[in-house]
Amino acid sequence: MIKSQVKASIERGIAAGCAAGFWPEKVADAVVEVPKRAGQGDFSTNFAMVAAGRLKAKPRDLAAQLVGFLEQDPLFAKVEIAGPGFINLFLQTSVWAQVLAPVYAQDERFGCSDAGAGKKVLVEFVSANPTGPLSVGHGRNAVLGDSIARLLEAAGYAVQREYYFNDAGRQMRVLGASTKARCLEILGLPAEFPDDGYQGGYIYDIARSLISEQGEALQDAPDEVFVNHAREAIFADIKKTLNRIGIRFDSYFNERSLYEKGLIDKVVADLRAKNLVYEKDGATWFKSTEFGLDQDRVIIKNTGEPTYRLPDIAYHREKFARGFDWMVNIFGSDHIATVPDVLAGVRALGLDDSRVTVVLYQFVTLMRGGKQVKMSTRKATFVTVDELADEVGVDAMRFFFLMRKPDNLIEFDLDLAKQQSQENPVYYVQYAHARLCSIARQAGEQGLALPTAAEAGDQALLSRLVEPEELALLKAVAAYPELVSSAAQDLAPHRLVFYLMDLAGAFHGFYNRHKVLGEDAQLSRARLLLAGALQKVFRNGLALIGLNAPERM
């Protein structure tokens, strides 16, 4: 793309300076950045600043030498030295229209790259315990994880989406006891509901379905009957919700398999062999202080039951054993204290914990009329993903979940999310795509064929795109591929949302000021080319965050 052309030009200038004896060959790399402030050029490089520090020279002197070579390149309209030695580069106006050719040639693949080089990435997300419906908090996890997976795939990584199915331990016993109590209650039999049982109305639904299958025989049924039925019913509901909001998984990892295969015991044995565990107060402790933690951690309680850390460490060891180059975990911020414990366990087993990245997200507050609200729910004491989707729609829900960085709290404005106006950011972005599709339809009604990939390389045609608003749109399109690549590498889908909102603003501003289809046939053709490219970028960008790109609104 255009940035790569700029970098290549700078590299040629550096090579020429080396040949002239101005600096050694490897003195500094050609770092190219987009200036943050207007008027500082289309791109800039700090080559002279870095080289000067290594050569003990004056940055502006080195900058002047490099500028002498860059000024000869027809790519640039102007090259200037700024501040202590930065070089600001202003491109020829005609250069920006070159971005349209790859947009048309690559179409749905525009923005994709091979930056990931096929490296295997496991993205673990949602992983909600099968004890109830997905809450709004789980919904943010789901949308965040899915969008990260989509971005990584676009960047050339081989992605596997995994749900860690936590169906072992005390919580499942409580779920079974809650279901049993409701069954007995419905049957009119004596029932004692557990003090910490699951109170949601969904437990009654599960109990009724179980009664319809087995009737009064349930009063003598073993606990496993209630646990298994409840688990299967809840997880079926979870899968249905995930499917509704466009989220799929490639694999489900069952926590019970860690116990059944002896992998929990193997972790303890291996840590013991390394003299990293000890017994105290009837419990088994992990010497986590040897790996940077403030105190040692219990991994087996004095009751003989493992703490959460132990199966999590065993699970991560399994991830490594499956050959993943990068393991990404999406967790709620309530895991912030537990993550270091698990990573310490990974290091203790001799594994490279730098290959594990944890994305922690904050929770969601629903707002209506400027006040926090608690939506009524038949299913539980929390708001479910299904209820939120029912009220605002799946697209709005997904978009609003991604409008903030993961570590920022979300105040989800229900009133705004439902508005069919340009004040609603998801409507604003999707309307830009719909408006572009409308332009294409209008062109057809006027007997104009849609632009072709061949026309996207017609320099005479593209030279008509000179208005400031047109250049701003071309620059935004040119920035898209790198934006996708960096958002993937940094696991930051919110950047794509910000980009789409900015692009929509730039397009709506252009549309309100200029006619795409006017009396000047050549100008109309050039603007149709631009409109077609923008439509493809909006469609591709919306797909990467799991949203529809409507053609009419």
Contact 55, 62 (CB under 8 A): yes
SS3 of residue 539 by DSSP: helix
What token pair was written down for 390? 């029912």
Give me the residue label for tokens 């029912």: 390
DSSP string of 202-233, one letter each residue? HHHHHHHHHHHHHGGGGGG--HHHHHHHHHHH
Q: In what order do the strands lie in the sheet with 43-45?
A: 32-33, 43-45, 86-91, 76-82
How do residues 152-199 score in pLDDT, each as one tens digit?
Answer: 999 999 999 999 998 877 888 999 999 999 999 999 998 889 988 888
In this predicted model, what pLDDT tens digit does every residue of 143-158 receive, in sequence order?
999 999 999 999 999 9
Alpha helices in 325-393 (DSSP H): 339-348, 385-392
As a whole number, the mean pLDDT across the chain is 94
Partners of residue 135 on adjacent β-strands: 384
Residue 440 has pLDDT above 80, yes or no: yes
How many residues are listed for the chain in this entry?
A: 553
Structure tokens at 26: 């490897």
* Bridge partners, residue 161, by sequence: 123
Q: What is the mean pLDDT of residues 513-530?
A: 94
Taking the C-alpha atoms of residue 525 and residue 281, their distance in angstroms, rounded to an integer, is 80
Share of the chain above pLDDT 90, in %: 87
Looking at the DSSP bridge assignments, the partners of residue 91 are: 76
Q: Hey, what domains does the chain have and what are their CATH numbers?
A: 2-91 (3.30.1360.70), 120-167+248-361 (3.40.50.620), 170-244 (no CATH), 421-544 (1.10.730.10)
- pTM score, whole prediction: 0.93
Check the CA dihedral 137-139-142-147 and report its sign: negative
Question: Per residue in 76-127, pLDDT tens?
Answer: 999 999 999 999 999 999 999 999 999 999 999 999 999 999 999 999 999 9
Digit-coded pLDDT (tens) for 472-484: 999 999 999 999 9
In the block, which residue shows the tokens 């790519």?
75
Q: Name the token pair of 533.
A: 């490219």
Q: What are phi and psi of 336, to 5 degrees?
A: -60, -30
Q: State residue 216's pLDDT score.
A: 83
